[in-house]
Amino acid sequence: MAEILNTGEAMERALALLDAGQILAIPTETVYGLAGDATSGTAVARIFEAKGRPSFNPLIAHVSGLVMATEFARIDPLSEKLAQAFWPGPLTVVLPLLAGSAMHPLVTAGMDTVALRMPQGFAASLIAALGRPLAAPSANVSGRISATTAQAVAADLGDRIPLIVDGGPTHVGVESTIVKVEGETLRLLRPGGIAAEVIEAITNRPLLRDASAGIEAPGMMASHYAPDAGMRLAVAAVQPGEALLAFGPRRAADWETAATMLNLSPSGNLREAAANLFAFMQELDRSGAATIAVEPIPHAGLGEAINDRLRRAAAPRPA
């Protein structure tokens, strides 16, 4: 089983593992990441292997700031403005890859663009100390719910990795928002921890959401966050024996017939709901109920990312 060390005591061991091309789980503000040296093919392959993730899926490379980003990508003024506004934080920008950069092609799945973000806290210090970017998808087996605690990582990947760095529960709780600048156009490739409206306000332009974005970010596969239980979304009424994922102060009809209930945010706060989302889905899944009924979540702000994750969890499963 993986060793679990707190952020205060893990730095040296984490650096030694990364230098040896090994992978480990680290906390970020969004979700736990399964991290490896993004310039090492062995390390990146280990990530795919541990996750059981389809290899056509490109990974986010985490950097220690804009200076490191410029070693790997060509940064246009609008992307730079976004990075300055939101880094360190839950924003990923997709940028043209610099030809001849040390980024391993497994990270970008061979594409000529690279997704970069600067995370908060231990992860940023680790990257700065290593001096190289870290490829880090969410630290869960492919297709399962993203881990927001070290314990959730251990349950999922504990027998496949040597070290889990424990930074406590992540405070954002959903993955980063992914955007891409295309000329004058700003595209939303994945809704996430920074609300689209906030990005629109800072850049003073609309974030385009279109169907083709789903193809461009292949991680947006239909069934990406799949619990064992079936999912019913935006329920008006609960059916007997269902597990209820509630939201806000008002209950769906027949809520008393639920086998068990967790409320993402009793006060109706979407940030609190995002932070609780994956852990509550996992807990309801563990209850053994055949179906998780989910109350309607408003689509504004972080609600867009929450509803996106819920839709994926409810999507038909691959056979």
Q: Total binding residues for ligand TXA by CB under 6 A?
A: 30
Which CB, 61 or 289, lies closer to ligand TXA? Answer: 61
Of the candidates 64, 68, 94, 97, which has an alpha carbon nearest to the alpha carbon of residue 82? 94
Please report how close the Cβ of residue 233 comes to ligand TXA at its closest, in angstroms.
21
Of 149-157, 173-181, 226-234, 258-266, the window that binds ligand TXA (rule: CB under 6 A) is: 173-181
- Cβ–Cβ contacts within 10 Å for residue 54, how many? 13
Least distance from ligand TXA to the Cβ atom of residue 303, Å? 18
| CA triple 245-89-113, angle to 5 deg | 105
The phi and psi torsions of 99 (rounded to 5 degrees) equal: -60, 140
Q: Which does 303 bind (CB under 5 to 8 A by kind): ligand TXA, Mg ion, none?
A: none
State the nearest-atom distance from the C-beta of 170 to ligand TXA, in Å: 9
Which entry of Mg ion, ligand TXA, none binds 44, CB below 5 to 8 A by partner kind? none
Residue type at position 43: A
Closest CB to Mg ion among residues 5, 172: 172
Query: How does strand 134-135 pair with strand 33-37?
Result: antiparallel
DSSP for residue 219: T
Three-state DSSP class for 209? coil
The residues binding Mg ion (CB under 5 A) are 138
Which of these, 52, 63, 216, 79, lies nearest to 138 by C-alpha position? 52
What are the residues binding ligand TXA (CB under 6 A)? Answer: 28, 30-31, 33, 57-60, 90, 92, 94, 108, 111, 113-115, 119, 136-138, 175-176, 178, 189-190, 216-220
